[in-house]
Amino acid sequence: MLFKQQALLRQKLFVLGSLAIGSLLYLVARVGSLDRLQPLCPIDGRFGPRGQDEIPLRALQFKRGLLHEFRKGNATKEQIRLHNLVQQLPKAIIIGVRKGGTRALLEMLNLHPAVVKASQEIHFFDNDENYAKGIEWYRKKMPFSYPHQITIEKSPAYFITEEVPERIYKMNSSIKLLIIVREPTTRAISDYTQVLEGKERKNKTYYKFEKLAIDPNTCEVNTKYKAVRTSIYTKHLERWLKYFPIEQFHIVDGDRLITEPLPELQLVEKFLNLPPRISQYNLYFNATRGFYCLRFNIVFNKCLAGSKGRIHPEVDTSVITKLRKFFHPFNQKFYQITGRTFNW
């Protein structure tokens, strides 16, 4: 009887030991896979020689964790000083276009360890009341970051607001400017759909898209309708070119960012002089949402808000044809100015 009990005890100890060793081997393998999937490389190129200006592991931890607390105002001045954190003016701004994919672009660029995003639209340059508060007010709206990281903000109203180009130029004449565009008619309908949803939430009625986009008196495209005006990209860009050379702009294909985001993000990395860090590992397609979601690491994933990807109402095909014909010459000029051609 004693012999059987000892044998059973040895068997239990063997099983427990095997489980412990197996768990240890799994953790070692998982850590190795994390290093392969999400290499913590030095930020080189414009950030200095390799080894001098590395962003250590704790920088990424702060970016995803403690930096969030700092943005909420929960950090002391001593903590900020110890970690060498600063609130920097943006070195790049996503200036538009509304309903072009500005939020998706900002969130995807935030995958890069050298990029820190302003979570909210600041509306500093397009809002007279905010602009009157001064540049230090604007700076304090920026997230905490490390000195070698780039702060990026997005406010799509900047692109179409007349005063903005000059105001941004006065802040930083060499700033990088990102414009994300979609096929103009699709963008206009998306713009309308967002407004329509807001009206419906308040139990208010709203005109059909066709009635807003087409002037009932002339039966021509209604250029006074804001959704139409916003889609005339070249008119707005020409105003910006009075202050900035075309080399300081990068045009992002918003339609392609939805279906094939990585090549577009790689082009932006190059434009911002960032070392390539965003990979296919960071992007995975969510079939339920119909969009690509973001993978920061093995633990932290993020999808865009449910308000993205609203279903557009059906629009009369003759109106769509009329709008596309109207936008065509403006599109051709936009291609010529930017050097980027789309199938619009």
Tell whether the model's pLDDT for residue 69 goes beyond 70: no
Helices (H), the chain: 2-37, 57-61, 67-71, 77-82, 102-109, 128-131, 135-140, 164-171, 184-201, 209-213, 226-230, 233-240, 254-259, 261-271, 317-338
Tens digits of residue pLDDT in 86-135: 999 999 999 999 999 999 999 999 999 999 999 899 999 999 999 999 99
Of these residues, 99, 117, 154, 322, which one is catalytic? 99
Per-residue pLDDT at 75: 61
Largest CA distance in the chain: 103
Does residue 47 form part of some domain? no
Does residue 32 form part of some domain? no
Q: Annotated binding site for 3'-phosphoadenylyl sulfate, which residues?
A: 99-103, 182, 190, 292, 308-312
Any idea what the CATH number is for the domain that residue 225 is in? 3.40.50.300
Instruction: Please indicate whether residue 182 or residue 292 has the higher confidence score (pLDDT).
Output: 182
Does residue 18 form part of some domain? no
Per-residue pLDDT at 146: 92
| 10-28 as b/e: b if 16+ CB within 10 A | eeeeeeeeeeeeeeeeeee
Does residue 131 form part of some domain? yes
99 is catalytic: yes
Tell whether the model's pLDDT for residue 2 goes beyond 50: no
Average pLDDT of the chain is 83
Residue 112, domain extent: 80-338
Tens digits of residue pLDDT in 216-246: 999 999 999 999 999 999 999 999 999 999 9
Rounded to whole angstroms, the Cα distance separating 2 from 105 reads 70
Determine which of 34-38, 75-79, 93-97, 172-176 has the lowest per-residue pLDDT on average.
34-38
Rounded to whole angstroms, the Cα distance separating 182 from 12 reads 64
Per-residue pLDDT at 247: 97
What is the domain count for the chain? 1
Rounded to whole angstroms, the Cα distance separating 35 from 12 reads 35
Per-residue pLDDT at 304: 79
Tens digits of residue pLDDT in 8-64: 555 555 545 554 555 444 444 443 333 333 333 333 333 333 333 344 434 444 455
DSSP labels, 110-135: TTSTTEEE-SS----SS-HHHHTT-H
Per-residue pLDDT at 303: 86
Does residue 9 form part of some domain? no
Does residue 53 form part of some domain? no
Instruction: Please indicate whether residue 209 or residue 202 has the higher confidence score (pLDDT).
Output: 209
Does residue 128 form part of some domain? yes
Tell whether the model's pLDDT for residue 268 goes beyond 90: yes
Does residue 206 form part of some domain? yes
Rounded to whole angstroms, the Cα distance separating 144 from 166 reads 27
Q: Annotated binding site, which residues?
A: 99-103, 182, 190, 292, 308-312
Residue 198: count other Cβ atoms within 10 Å of its Cβ. 11
Q: Long-range CB contacts (< 8 A, 24+ apart) of 202-209?
A: 208/313, 209/313, 209/315, 209/319
